[in-house]
Amino acid sequence: MVPKKLVLIPAVCLLLLIGIVLPTNAYAVRMSPSESITPNYDYISVIGATLTIGNKGQATAGGYVYYLGDYDSTLTIELQRQNGNGWSVVKSWEKSFTGKGHHSFEKEYYVASGNTYNVVTTATIKQGNKILETATSTSSEVKY
């Protein structure tokens, strides 16, 4: 008959070894700086912001939103200029829409050279006076 201590010691060692050697399901994912995480919204399917600047400084700022429900929405487009580490609003436009589907609009504005610009689009989905959801999207930066 084998003493209990002789059986218990190898069993404990085996359990410790299994706990150390076996991989776990949890792991970290390293993302590159160009990758982003897209949030999941309840009402908004897609939101976006666009910016192009022509060779004479004519900026075209755009925003779009897509949602399926029969709601009202407001799109706000902000053309921004980089100031040091922050951004300041150069020009802002707003437009309201009714009903489901894809809604978008663009505005033009002449910008000064030697700066970096972007566009921030904010979509607000409403049912009557109740705000159901607000989402924001930022365009790529454009140097002019």
Mean pLDDT of the chain: 85
pLDDT, position 72:
95
Domain membership flag for residue 6: no
Q: pLDDT-based confidence at 39, cuts 50/70/90?
A: confident
> Which tokens in the block code for residue 37?
């995480």
Q: Give backbone dihedrals phi and psi of 30, rounded to 5 degrees, phi first.
A: -95, 125
Host domain of residue 132? 44-143
What is the 3 state secondary structure string of 71-104? CEEEEEEEEEEEECCEEEEEEEEEEEEECCEEEE
pLDDT, position 97:
96
Residue 104 has pLDDT above 70, yes or no: yes
**Under 8 Å between Cβ of 44 and 65:** yes
Domain membership flag for residue 85: yes
Quickly count: other Cβ atoms within 10 Å of residue 80's Cβ: 22
**CA nearest to 45, candidates 103, 129, 114, 88:** 103
pLDDT, position 40:
83
**CA nearest to 136, candidates 114, 121, 117, 119:** 121
Give the mean pLDDT of 52-60.
96
pLDDT, position 105:
96
Q: What is the pTM of this model?
A: 0.73
Specify the number of domains making up the chain.
1
- CATH code for position 53: 2.60.40.10
pLDDT, position 25:
53
Domain membership flag for residue 52: yes
Domain membership flag for residue 38: no
Radius of gyration of the chain (CA): 27
pLDDT, position 4:
57
